[in-house]
């Protein structure tokens, strides 16, 4: 998303991020009104309403037309519809997170619950943190390869002596799947796709 679009998006949300401005928009959605009419309906001073109308006008959401001694303000629905459609469409939202360190949480969890060799020193109580630990351990297995339980335990022993707990958690949280009756283990499809 280019800087201009981000600036527009911020302006759009800043203009709407106020209860009084939302009420003004709601009133203008029904009919054009003067500052005095809006102020009386909202129980505010003319100056306060003028300030809010100026913010809405700067964002392009409100237009004014002179009529005699008054200016009538109206909602620019087409601008709202166009901005919402263009700025909030699904493919325009992910770029808002460009430059964000998406792996920071995982690194923080791993730093807290593993040692320098990557061994699990403690099991976190929170599920979201446990999932980070399990994803870390699951990377030791190759996609598409089947492992007998003995080999799974050997690999898991590198990460923690409680291999049964790790093995059970990997299956329970669908990082791995197991054939019934203690058969072979393999990475689950979701883990394979993520690798």
- pLDDT 10s digits, 49-78: 999 999 999 888 999 999 988 999 999 998
Confidence (pLDDT) at 175: 96
Confidence (pLDDT) at 2: 60
CATH architecture designation of domain 3-97: Orthogonal Bundle (1.10)
Confidence (pLDDT) at 79: 84
Confidence (pLDDT) at 194: 42
Confidence (pLDDT) at 85: 78
Confidence (pLDDT) at 13: 84
**In CATH terms, are 3-97 and 104-194 the same topology?**
yes
Instruction: State phi, psi for 140 to the nearest 5 degrees.
Output: -75, -10
| Low-confidence spans in the chain with pLDDT less than 70 | 1-4, 87-88, 90-98, 181-182, 190-195
Scored b (16 or more CB within 10 A) or e, 72-106 reads bbebbeeebeebeeebeeeeeeeeeeeeeeeeeeb
pTM of the model: 0.56
Domain 104-194 has CATH 1.10.3470: no
* Domain ranges across the chain: 3-97, 104-194
Helix locations, the chain, DSSP H: 3-16, 19-30, 35-42, 46-58, 77-87, 104-113, 127-138, 149-157, 163-172, 189-194
């Amino acid at each position: 998303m280019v800087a201009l679009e981000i600036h527009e998006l911020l302006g759009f949300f800043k203009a709407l991020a106020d209860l009084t401005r939302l009420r003004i928009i709601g009133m203008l959605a029904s009919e054009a009104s003067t500052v005095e009419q809006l102020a009386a309906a909202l129980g505010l001073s003319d100056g306060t309403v003028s300030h809010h109308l100026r913010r809405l006008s700067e964002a392009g959401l409100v237009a004014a037309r002179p009529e005699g001694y008054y200016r009538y303000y109206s909602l620019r629905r087409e601008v709202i519809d166009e901005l919402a459609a263009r700025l909030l469409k699904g493919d325009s939202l992910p770029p808002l997170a460009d430059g964000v360190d998406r792996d920071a949480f995982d690194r923080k969890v791993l730093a807290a619950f593993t040692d320098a060799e990557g061994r699990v020193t403690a099991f976190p109580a929170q599920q979201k943190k446990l999932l980070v630990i399990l994803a870390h351990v699951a990377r030791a297995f190759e996609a598409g390869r089947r492992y007998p339980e003995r080999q799974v335990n050997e690999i898991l022993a590198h990460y923690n002596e409680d291999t049964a707990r790790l093995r059970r958690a990997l299956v329970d949280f669908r990082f791995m799947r197991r054939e019934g009756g203690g058969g072979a283990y393999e990475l689950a499809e979701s883990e394979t796709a993520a690798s």
